[in-house]
Amino acid sequence: MKQAGFPLGILLLFWVSYVTDFSLVLLIKGGSLSGTDSYQSLVNKTFGFPGYLLLSVLQFLYPFIAMISYNIITGDTLSKVLQTIPGVDPGNLFIGRHFIIVLSTVAFTLPLSLYRDIAKLGKISLISTILTTLILGIVMARAVSLGSHIPKTEDAWVFAKPNAIQAVGVMSFAFICHHNCFLVYGSLAEPTVAKWSRIIHVSVLVSVFISMLFAACGYLTFTGFTQGDLFENYCRNDDLVTFGRFCYGITVILTYPIECFVTREQVIATVFFGGNLSAVFHVVVTVVITTVATLASLLFDCLGIVLELNGVLCAAPLIFIMPSACYLKLSEEPRTHSDKIMSCVMLLTGAVVMVAGCVLVVTHPQDCTHGQEMFYCFPENVSRTNTPVSHFQLTTQLSILNNSIFQ
């Protein structure tokens, strides 16, 4: 919402959710037309080995970068939770984000990632979904209690902003599940296109409803001050938000294994081991993937940039371009058929988002105030009015705050 402008952001959120819904059904239709049962085999049959290789790279990069972003979130949120414990020094090494990332990997995400059957992760996903609703309730509650006390930025309510394409990248990252849709489709008791369509319609509808509430409540509370990680906006002495951070960290830890499963089973095992990993190689590959992701997450601490980059580089082609291209080549429907028209629109949209998004991510990166308390957490720095804050006023306030902290 901050990158796109609030009204345009809401419209884009619904557009991306619709495209996600359409493309997920389109993928399964493409699988039925080609007689294939995986994303890789579909692209391989449609575009040959070059297409298969490109898709394999994208299917690896997307969940792998997602694993990095999940580690960043875990480090950011749980370190702040531990800092609220009475008597704990905020500078203690053992509550720092780096130590938290390593500890959570060794104790939780690595053991959970060693599961070989995605169906066994179902209960874990259910717990994650329940925690997400609790987090949403906290964000909504704080929108009511904090919104009137935080000054609004001067451009808070403009219809559109020039970084809207970066917003599409973030939304694409949030909605994409194409890299494992054939796995989920195959896990259904009686997999059919009609049954899959019903499941997708309901799932995407629930997802866009939750995403819209998160986005609206978060942006209405913080407007132009909104961070890539929303919980970076809240003050550390807020007990309710501390509980929300804890739930958020657990949610991310429980989501991580699904992404690791995709990188290992759908990409590494398929491309290099013919689809089957021995018990030894299963453990070795899992350890290597999680270790590299952990090391990468220790080097980056700005979540927004990671989400944008993953969205425009990987999510956009996986959602917009690949499903459309496969269906257009496989389908024998006339060119005026609604599915073919929509596929052409998706193809062009994906190309624009991918190219323009990459340029914007490099030339206009998100601001990141990782680990810093926002100026409104200090009452003496905040006017108790709703007067819009200009960029100059904000810079001045932050300079005063930084100087006082330094002194």
Nearest CA-CA partner of 106 in 287, 249, 299: 287
pLDDT computed for residue 382 by the predictor: 53
Note the pLDDT tens digit of each residue in 316-365: 898 889 999 999 999 888 888 888 999 999 999 989 988 888 888 777 76
Give the start-to-end residue ranges of the domains of the chain: 6-372
What fold characterizes domain 6-372? Amino acid/polyamine transporter I (1.20.1740)
* pLDDT value at 404 more than 50: no
The alpha-helical segments, DSSP class H, found in 238-374 are 239-261, 269-273, 279-299, 303-310, 316, 322-330, 338-363
- Structure confidence at residue 399 as a pLDDT band (50, 70, 90): very low
State how far the Cα of 203 lies from the Cα of 319, in Å rounded to an integer: 16
pLDDT computed for residue 159 by the predictor: 94
Q: What letter represents residue 271's amino acid?
A: V
Among 291-295, 393-397, 398-402, the range with the most confident prediction by mean pLDDT is 291-295
pLDDT computed for residue 6 by the predictor: 94
- Structure confidence at residue 285 as a pLDDT band (50, 70, 90): very high
pLDDT computed for residue 369 by the predictor: 58
* pLDDT value at 405 more than 70: no
How many Cβ atoms sit within 10 Å of the Cβ of residue 20? 25
pLDDT computed for residue 366 by the predictor: 65
pLDDT computed for residue 367 by the predictor: 63
What are the backbone angles phi and psi of residue 389, rounded to the nearest 5°?
-100, 125
Note the pLDDT tens digit of each residue in 116-138: 776 667 777 788 888 988 999 99
Note the pLDDT tens digit of each residue in 242-276: 999 999 999 999 889 888 988 898 788 888 887 78
Average pLDDT of the chain is: 85
Q: pTM above the 0.85 mark?
A: no
pLDDT computed for residue 184 by the predictor: 84
- Structure confidence at residue 380 as a pLDDT band (50, 70, 90): low
pLDDT computed for residue 273 by the predictor: 83
Report residue 338 as tokens: 């609604």
Among 78-82, 303-307, 402-406, the range with the most confident prediction by mean pLDDT is 78-82
User: b/e for 282-295, b at 16 or more Cβ within 10 A?
Assistant: beebbeebbeebbe
* pLDDT value at 403 more than 50: no
* pLDDT value at 385 more than 60: no
Nearest CA-CA partner of 171 in 353, 338, 26, 377: 353
Range 17-20, long-range pairs (CB < 8 A, 24+ positions): 17/175, 17/204, 17/205, 17/207, 17/208, 17/211, 19/319, 19/320, 19/346, 19/349, 20/175, 20/176, 20/177, 20/204, 20/319
Mean pLDDT score, 90-101 = 84
State how far the Cα of 346 lies from the Cα of 22, in Å rounded to an integer: 10
pLDDT computed for residue 106 by the predictor: 95
Report residue 158 as tokens: 């403009």
pLDDT computed for residue 333 by the predictor: 87
The residue among 390 and 63 whose pLDDT is bigger is 63
Mean pLDDT score, 145-165 = 89
* pLDDT value at 156 more than 70: yes
pLDDT computed for residue 77 by the predictor: 87
